[in-house]
Amino acid sequence: MPVESCSSCDSVTCYNNYPSECPSPYESGTVGVSCSDDSSTGNQVQWEGVYDASASLCDRSACCCVTGTVNIVQDGLHLTGDAQLAGVNCQGQTMVGFQAVLPSSTTTQFNIVVMSNHLRVTKTKDGISIVNKDFLQCSGSAICVSGPACETPLSTGAIVGIVAGCLVFVLLVVIIVLVIKRSRPAAAAPAAGVGAAYDDRRPLVQPQAAAYGSMPAA
């Protein structure tokens, strides 16, 4: 269906070729976080990587679960990927593709529709969480095993903390050095004239002539 504005495009089913059209509701693999043309990439959240959903808590006996390997490729604000499926009601499919358009570079979640289930994918510290908004017992998670998404960049706060720590360390070192210098006793300077006193000593006994007086000349 044609759309004229973001408000008229359903946030769950908005396709990444907005604004030309939105897909039919509940179409597997359709997207949508929101409609947006934001192309900013500053401080971008990294989604690209390979995730392992083998340990997901999704109940395969009652759900069609995202399991095994999940691949996500990121190109700016555009995400494409695929995920393995297992469980019941998967309609014979073992793999599903998906795509999403992020509203901003700092977005930490997006929505997709997989096998008629609305899933909210959220970036976590170790990978992604996958919440099934229709059936919560069918929710799960995946751990990042490789790719840029596995690398946790330092936040501005962390960088400031590191720099501040280094400055404090340097200041402590300077203070310790100054304290040590001040606590050392000054080296005793030689007493004035000591060296010259030995050279300038006068005889303790005066010459004999001086002691008995001058003898008269013959």
Query: Given 127, 150, 173, which residue is the final one in a domain?
Result: 150
Residue ranges of alpha helices (H) inside 144-201 are 156-183, 194-199
**One domain for residues 137 and 161:** no
pTM score: 0.54
Q: What's the whole-number average pLDDT of the chain?
A: 75
Residues 168 and 108 in one domain: no
The amino acid at 137: Q
Same domain, 135 and 66: yes
Do 23 and 128 have their domain in common?
yes
Quick one: 84 and 164 in the same domain? no
Q: Which residues, 6+ apart, have CB-to-CB distance to 32 below 8 Å?
A: 9, 10, 11, 12, 13, 14, 15, 16, 100, 101, 110, 111, 112
- Whether 210 is in a domain gets the answer no
CATH number at residue 25: 2.40.128
When comparing pLDDT for 83 and 152, which is higher? 83
Whether residue 18 is predicted with pLDDT greater than 50 in this model: the reply is no
My answer on whether 141 and 177 are in the same domain is no
List the domain range (segments joined by +) for residue 102.
6-150
Instruction: Give mean pLDDT, residues 196-205.
Output: 53
pLDDT digits over 154-184, tens only? 455 556 677 777 788 888 888 888 888 888 7
Quickly list H helices, the chain: 156-183, 194-199, 208-212
Q: Is the pLDDT of residue 7 over 70?
A: no
* Euclidean distance between CA atoms 31 and 44, whole angstroms: 20
Residue type, 133: K
Inform me whether the pLDDT recorded for 204 exceeds 70: no
pLDDT of residue 26: 41
Q: Specify if 162 maps to a domain.
A: yes
User: Cβ(29)–Cβ(14) under 8 Å?
Assistant: no
- Can you give the pLDDT at residue 116? 86
Q: Cα separation of 85 and 93, whole Å?
A: 7
Q: How many domains does the chain have?
A: 2
77 shares a domain with 139: yes
Distance CA 74, CA 85 (A): 21
Choose among 69, 51, 39: nearest CA to 122. 51
> pLDDT (tens digit, 9 = 90+) per residue, 100-123?
999 999 999 999 998 889 999 999
Question: Do residues 119 and 135 touch, judged by C-beta distance below 8 A?
Answer: no
pLDDT of the residue at 24: 47
135 with 162, same domain? no
**Rg of the Cα trace of the chain?**
42
Pairing of strands 95-101, 78-87: antiparallel
How does pLDDT run across 72-100, given as a tens digit for each residue?
999 999 999 999 999 998 989 999 999 99
User: Is residue 86 classed as helix, strand or coil in its secondary structure?
Assistant: strand
- Please tell me the predicted confidence (pLDDT) of residue 146: 94
> Phi and psi of 163, rounded to 5°?
-65, -45
Does some domain include residue 48? yes
Give the tens place of pLDDT for each residue, 125-141: 999 999 999 999 999 99
Query: Which of the two residues, 202 and 117, has the higher pLDDT score?
Result: 117
